[in-house]
Each structure stands twice: as structure tokens, then as C-alpha cells.
Amino acid sequence: MITLHENEKIIAKVRKHWFVIFTEGLFLLFLVLAPIFFFLLSGNKGGAITPFFVLLYLAWLLAVWIIFFVLWTDFYLDVLLITDSRVVDIEQIGLFARDMAELRYENIQDIRVEIGGIIATLLNFGNLHIQTAGVQKEFVIKHIPHPDQVKDLISAQQHAAFPQKPT
């Protein structure tokens, strides 16, 4: 997946906040229960569950399970690695694609934290914007827990790698 450089150490691994997969899971739970509510509200006289309905519902459950699997894979494999010489952002795109971006500390110019909304404020998660001198000007790492601490950790590693010279 990722090859570390010689003598490089991983300082921290940061994944998305749990609330992201929780909200997606709640939506999928609604999708699991929706056919049952529609069946009950359809005015089915006699209340008999037909084998055809069971077959359709099981196919529906299988589809929702596959969607959950894809969402969980995306959630679990999206990771921000902070090493002693660089920051690596790995973003899983679907099941078979991955985007990896490497930010060397000498190219980082600015780090900004964005926390939007009451839930993000209460649960302390947000987006981390890293401004670089490279071709891609800004990297955005979304929905990470404790973004202020991650920003401070990256800044500390950057200062440790390139100490300021006294003037």
C-alpha cells in the first residue's frame, strides 16, 4: 500500500470521524426498514406475507448490505498518515481505485482547520486544509476527528524537520 522511506517513522494514523459512517448507516437502516413500512401501509388484507415479497425483500437487503460494505471499505481505507518527514493522504474511491497524495514538510505553507455546524463542533471533527507550494495548491482532508490536534501535530513535525534559524 505505502512504502516508507529509509529511517521514516509513522507518527500518527488519522481516519475519518465515526459520525460519518454512523450517519450513512442510519440512512441504510432507513432503507432496510422502508419496504416493511410500505408493506404494512399498503393495506394488505389478511396480512399474509407472500413468498414474492420475501424474495424481493431479501434481494433488497442484499443490495443494501453491498452498499454498506462499499461505504465501510471507503471509510476504513481513507487514512491520513503523519510521518516524521511527510504527510500522506490516502483516499479510497469505490472498491478498486485509490488516490494517494504526499505532502513533504518543506512544501507545506499553511494549515487551516474548518469546523462547520453544531454537530461537528460538539463532536469535534472537521476538515483540514493544507496549502502547499506544489502543483496542487490545497489539499483538503475531510471529517477528521480533533482537527486542531492534527494541525498542531503536523506543525510540530514540520518544525522538527526544518527548525527555524535564529535571526
pLDDT tens digits along 59-114:
999 999 999 999 999 999 999 999 988 999 999 998 899 999 888 888 888 999 99
pLDDT the model gives residue 40: 78
For 91, the grid coordinates are: 483516499
Please report which helix (H) or strand (E) contains residue 70, including its range.
helix 51-77
What pLDDT, on a 0 to 100 scale, did the predictor assign at position 42? 76
Q: Which percentage of the chain shows pLDDT scores above 90?
A: 59
State the number of CA atoms in the 13 A half-sphere of 23 facing the CB: 7
Question: Between the ranges 36-50, 107-121, 125-139, where is the mean pLDDT highest?
Answer: 107-121
d(CA 101, CA 15): 15
